[in-house]
Chain A
Amino acid sequence: MGKLLATRLISLLPLLFLVSLLTFSLTALLPQEPAALKVGDNATPEALHEARKELGTDRPWVVQYGDWAGNAVTGDLGHSYFSSVPVTRQIGDRIGITLSLTAVALLISIIVGVGAGILAAVYRGSPIDRVATVGASIGTATPAFWLAMFLASQFAVRWHIFDATGYVRPSESISGWLKSLVMPATALGLAGAATLARQTRSAMIGVLGREYVRTALASGLPRRKVITRYALKNALGPVLTVLGFQVTFLIGSSFVVEKVFGIEGLGSLAVNAVLRHDAPVIQGLVIVIAIVVVVVNLLLDMLYGWVNPKVRAS
C-alpha cells in the first residue's frame, strides 16, 4: 500500500508541473503588465521601472517561472499587488472555511444521493424511483446558490432556526461551527446529490442485473444483505468516479454559495482578486485548489482499488 501510494504521488508531479505552468502563464493574458497594474495609471516611468524590478518582471520568462515555482514548493506564493499580506497567509486564513463547507456538503450529497440512487434502482419503476429520478433532474438544474437563498429565506429569515449569515470557527465552538454550516452545506450538498443519485441508480441497476447477484440470491442471502453488502460494493466503482468530479463541482459552487451567507472563504478572496486583476492571489488559489483536488482524487483512487480488486492487481 505504501509503495503504491508513493508511485502514485510521484506520477502526480508532471500533472502539478503542468498546472503550475498553465497558472503561471495566466499573467500573459493580463490587459496590462503587472507592474503597471501595481503602480496604477498615473505613475511615472521611473515608478513603473522600479515596480518591474520589485516584481522581477524585467527578468526572462523562464527565470520568473523558476523563481515563482521554486518559492511555491517551499510554501511561498508571493505577494498580492495590492496588499502586504502574503498570498499563502491570505489563503491559509480562509481555506479551512471552504474545505469544511465542501466536506460537509460532500457528506450530505453522498448520504442523500447514494441513498436515493439505491432506493430508485431497487424499486425501479415504482413511485419511489419516479420521485428520485424527477428530483435528481430538478436538482441538477437548480443553481446551488438559489437553493441557498431559498433556505436562508425560510430557515433564517422566516423561522429563525439558523443565522442567515456568518461562519463560526470550530476553535470557537464545535456546535456553533456545525450550525453555521448546516444551511450552506445543505444547499451545496443537495445540488451535488442529484448527480450522484443518477449515477448510483444506473450503476446499481447494472449490477443488480449481473449474474453474481443471482449467485448471491441463489445461496440464500436475504435481499437486503445482497443489496447492501454485495451489490453496493460493485456499484461503487462508477460512483467513485463521479465523486471525483463532485469534489471539484462542490469546491467551485462553494465560491458562489458562501456569498449568500456572507461567509468569507476562498470565494470572496477570489472575487476580490478577480475584480482587481490581482494575479498572484488568483495563481495561488488555482495552485492550492489543484493540490486539494489531486489529493482527494488520490484517496478516491485508493478506494477504487478496494471496490475493484482487478485494478489493484495491475
Chain B
Amino acid sequence: MSEIAVEGGTVLAPEEMRESSSVWRRLRANRAAMVAAVVLILILAATIFASLLAPYSPDKQQLLNSLASPSKAHWLGTDDKGRDTYSRLLFAGRVAFEVSFLSVGIAVLVGVPIGLFVGLRGGWWDRIVMRVVDAIMTIPPLVSILALVGVLGVGIRNTAIALGVVFSTGFLRLTRGEVLAVREEAFVDAARVTGLSNRRIMWRHILPVAAPPLIVQATLMLGAAMLAEAGLSFLGVGVQVPDASWGSMLASAQAVATINTFVAIPPGLAILVSVLCLNLVGDGIRDAMARDAPAGLFSRRRRLRVAGLLSAIPANQPLVRVGDQVASPPALLEVSGLSIGFVVNSRMLPAVSDISFAVAAGETVALVGESGCGKTITALTIPGLLPPPGTITSGTITFGGNDLLDLDATEMSKVRGRDIGMVFQEPGACLNPAFTVGDQIAAPLRTHLGLSKRAARARAIELMERVGIPNPERRIGQFPHEFSGGMAQRVMIAIALACEPKLLIADEPTTALDVTVQNQVLDLIASLRDELGMGVVFVTHDLAVVADLADRAVVLYAGQVVESGPVAAIFSDPKHPYTRALMRSVPRNEPRSTDLVGIAGSVPQLGAWPVGCRFAPRCELATDECRALPIQMDRDGDHEFRCIHVRDRLPEAVGSQA
C-alpha cells in the first residue's frame, strides 16, 4: 500500500501544508467556517448595539398586547407580559455572550497557567493536580456547576464563575498535554542545555505550539458555555429577573407553552445559530491546522463511464497490443491492456497504462519495479481492491473464462478468497487486532465453503499446521499482537489459501520481515504453489527473489511494462536499460531500499510522465528519438521489451551482470 500512499501523497499533500499562511488560506477556503464567522460577527454586533437596534425597551410591558403574533410593530411578536420579543432577544443575547466570554476567560486564566506549571514541573504536583482534575471530570459538568452555584448563590456572575472553574479542567489538561509533547522534542532539551530558564522555554517554545489547539478549544467552549448558561437560566439559577438571557426567555416561554408555541422559537433559534457558528468556526480552525486524512481503501470497483473524464486523458498514451500472441499453456489469468488512473481534482492522472501479462496454473509471474511503478496498483486491481480515487480506464482481466471487470460486487466477493487469495506486506497491519487469528482464518471457510463453526475451526488448525505455525491448538485462540512478523505472515498465507484458490497474489509479502524469515516465507509459498498447482502473481522490487521463485517476469516502469519474458531469458539477456539497472542494484539485505545504484534520479511523479520513453530522463543511452514519441513494444520470441537501443547497446553493459 505504501506505493499508493506515496503516489497519492505527492499529488495531494504538499509538504508546506502546515505552514501558517496555508492554514489561513485553507480556513478561508472553508466556506462553512467563513459563513459561520460572518454570521457570528453580525449576531455579536447586533447584541452589542442592542440599545441602538431595539425598537422598544426590553422591559416595557404592554399587558393588553401579550403573546401577540409577529407584526410590523413587533417583528417577532410579544411575550407573556407583552414585551417586544425582538428587543428582548437583542439584550438577552448580550447577556448570553457576556457569560460565555467571561466564563471561557476565567477557564483560560485558571486552566492554562496551572497546566503549564504542572506540565513543566512534573512529579508530585502533576500527579496530585491531575487526580483532582480526574475527580472533577467524573461529575457531569452541569451537576458540578449547579453544586458550585448552590453554595456560591444563584445569579449570572456566580454562574459564569462556576462555568469557568469547571471548564478550566479542559484547558488545564490540554495545556499540560501540549507541554509534555513539546518537552519530548529535542529542541527543548537543547534549549535547556544552553541554559535557558523554564520561563524563557515556555514563552519561546511551548506557547507557540500550544496556542492553536487552545484557540480551537476556546472557540468550542464558548459554544458549550452558551448552552450551559441557557440550561441554567432555564432552570432559574442563572440570570435573575429583571435581566434576561435566551435561556430565561425560554423559561418564560415554557410557562405559556400550552397556549403559545411561537414565543419559544426565536430564543431557541438564537442559541442554536450562535452555538452552531461557534462550533463551525472552531472546527474550521482545527481542520485548517490538521493534516489531510489518508484516503480510504474501501471502494467498489467500477469501470470509468464518464465521458468527460475519459477525454481528460492525455492523447499520448501508447496503444500497442501484444494480446495477439498465443500463450502456450491456457492462461489462468490474463490481464490485457489494463489502464488505471487516479481522479484528482476532477482531472484523470494515469497511474498504469496498457499493462498485459498472463499467468498459467502452477506458474509464477513476478511484477518487478521500484516504488511508484504501478505494480501494487495492478496487483490490487485484479481481485477488485483498487482504492479510490483509482479508476480503471480500459482493459480486461480474464480469470477462469470471465472478465472480472464485468462482475458486480457480490459476484466479485465470491471470487475473492475462494478462487483468488491475497497476501500483503506488513502482516501485522493486515490482521484485524480485535479478532483471534482463528476467527480470521475461519472467516473465508465459513463464507465460501459454508463450514460449521466447529468444522471451520478444525480446518483452521490444519491450515496453521500446514503453514508451519507450531502449537496451532493453542495459538488459534490468540490475537494478532501475540504473533511475530513471520508468524503473522504465515497466518496471512493460511487465510489466503484457506479455500485452496487457483491464483495467489502476493504483494511484497516478505518486505517487512527479517532476512532469515524472508526465505522461510518464500519457501513456504513455493511449496504450497507446487502442492496446490496455483498460479502466483508475485509483486516485488527484489530481483533475487524473482530469480528464486518466478517463471516469468514483468518489469514495470512508470506505469508501463518495459520488459517481460521468461526469467531465464531476462537474466541472461536483459534488454531494457532499466532492467539492467535493477540487476546492478539487487538490494539484497536492505528490504526497503528503493534507490537504484548507478542511475541518478527517481521514478517520475504521477501525471508527470515524459511523452516519449518514460525512462529516458534517467537513461544513459537516451537520444532525441527516445524523447520524441511513445516507444512501441519490440519482441525477441516471447521476450518483449520497450527500447529502441537494444541492438546498439553499450558493449560493457552486455550481459555482464547476469
Which A residues have a C-beta under 8 Å from some C-beta of B?
A: 14-15, 18-19, 22-23, 26-27, 29-31, 122, 124, 137-138, 140-143, 145-146, 149-150, 152-153, 157-158, 164, 205-206, 208-223, 225, 230, 233-234, 248-249, 251-253, 255-256, 259-260, 267, 270-271, 273-275, 277-279, 282-283, 285-286, 289-290, 293-294, 307-310, 313
Bound CA span A154–B244, Å: 26
In the complex, the chain B residue whose C-beta lies closest to that of A30 is B151
**What residues of B have a CB within 8 angstroms of the CB of A143 in the complex?**
227, 230-231, 234, 247, 250, 268, 271-272
Find chain B residues with CB under 8 A from A26 CB. Answer: 147-148, 150-151
The verdict on B134 contacting chain A, using a C-beta distance below 8 Å, is yes
Asked if residues B150 and A278 are in contact (CB atoms below 8 Å), the reply is yes
Contact with A along B269-309 (1 / 0, CB 8 A): 00111011001100000000000011111101000000000
Contacts of B496 in A (CB 8 A): 218-219
Q: Say yes or no: is B241 at the interface (Cβ < 8 Å to chain A).
A: no
What residues on B are CB-neighbors of A270 within 8 Å?
143, 146, 150
B76 within 8 A of A: no
Give the Cβ gap from A226 to chain B, nearest Cβ, in Å.
8
Q: Give chain A nearest CB distance to B418 CB in angstroms.
A: 6
Q: Which of A15, A138, A210 has the most CB of B within 10 A?
A: A210
The listed residue with most B CB atoms (<10 A of its CB), out of A209, A212, A220, A221, is A220
A-B contact pairs, 13 of them (CB 8 A): A124-B296, A138-B272, A208-B298, A209-B297, A210-B297, A212-B431, A213-B297, A215-B422, A219-B422, A222-B410, A253-B231, A275-B236, A278-B150
With a CB–CB cut-off of 8 A, which chain B residues contact A279? 150-151
- Indicate if B211 sits at the interface (CB-CB under 8 A): no
User: Are the C-beta atoms of A220 and B414 separated by less than 8 Å?
Assistant: yes
A149 touches B250 (CB 8 A): yes
Residue of A nearest to B134 (CB): A15
Query: Is B49 in the interface zone, CB < 8 Å from A?
Result: no
15 more A-B residue pairs beyond the given contacts A215-B422, A218-B416, with a C-beta to C-beta distance below 8 A: A15-B135, A22-B136, A137-B276, A138-B272, A141-B271, A142-B275, A143-B247, A157-B257, A205-B293, A216-B432, A221-B413, A233-B434, A248-B140, A290-B135, A310-B433
> CB-CB < 8 A to A234: which residues of B?
432-434
Range for the number of chain B residues in contact with chain A: 35 or more
Q: Chain A residues with Cβ under 8 A from B223's Cβ?
A: 141
Instruction: Give 8 nearest A-B pairs by CB, closest first.
Output: A220-B417, A252-B142, A252-B140, A219-B417, A141-B276, A274-B150, A141-B275, A18-B135
> With the chains together, A259 CA to B424 CA distance in Å?
58
B358 at interface by CB-CB < 8 Å: no
Task: Specify which chain A residues have a CB less than 8 angstroms from the CB of B495 in the assembled complex.
Answer: 215, 219
Q: Which residue of B lies closest to A251 (CB)?
A: B140
B385 touches A (CB below 8 Å): yes
The answer to whether B150 and A277 touch across the interface, beta carbons within 8 angstroms, is yes
Q: From A252, which residue of chain B is reached at the shortest CB distance?
A: B142
Q: Which residues on B sit within 8 Å (CB–CB) of A307?
A: 434
- Alpha-carbon separation in the docked complex, A209 to B4 (Å): 12
Does chain A have a CB within 8 A of B415? yes
Q: Is the Cβ of B151 less than 8 Å from the Cβ of A282?
A: yes
B262 to A: closest C-beta gap in Å:
9
The answer to whether A145 and B143 touch across the interface, beta carbons within 8 angstroms, is no
Cα-based distance from A217 to B440 in the complex (angstroms) = 12
Answer yes or no: B261 CB below 8 A from chain A CBs: yes
Known contacts: A218-B417, A222-B413. The answer to whether A209 contacts B298 by CB under 8 A is yes
Using a CB–CB cutoff of 8 Å, the interface residues on chain B facing chain A are 1, 131-132, 134-136, 138-144, 146-154, 223, 227, 230-231, 234-237, 247, 250, 253-254, 257-258, 261, 264, 268, 271-273, 275-276, 279-280, 293-298, 300, 383, 385, 409-410, 413-418, 421-422, 424, 426, 429-435, 440, 443-444, 447-448, 479, 481-482, 492, 495-496, 498-499
Chain B, residue nearest A124 (CB) = B296
The answer to whether A149 and B139 touch across the interface, beta carbons within 8 angstroms, is: no
Contacts of A18 in B (CB 8 A): 131-132, 134-135
Of A23, A29, A124, which contacts B152 at CB under 8 A?
Answer: A29
The smallest C-beta distance from A37 to any residue of chain B, in angstroms, reads: 10
Report the Cα distance A218→B426, complex, angstroms: 15
**With A18-B132, A153-B257, A219-B498 as given contacts, are A309 and B424 in contact (CB-CB < 8 Å)?**
no
Cβ A157 vs Cβ B258 within 8 A: yes
Known: A157-B257, A220-B415, A234-B434. A146 touches B264 (CB 8 A): yes
Chain B residues lying within 8 Å of A267, measured Cβ to Cβ, are 235
A256 touches B231 (CB 8 A): yes
- Point out the residues of chain A lying under 8 angstroms from B131, CB to CB: 14-15, 18
Contacts of A14 in B (CB 8 A): 131
Q: Would B139 and A146 count as touching, CB distance under 8 A?
A: no
Closest to B298 in A: A208
A199 to B418 Cα, complex, angstroms = 35
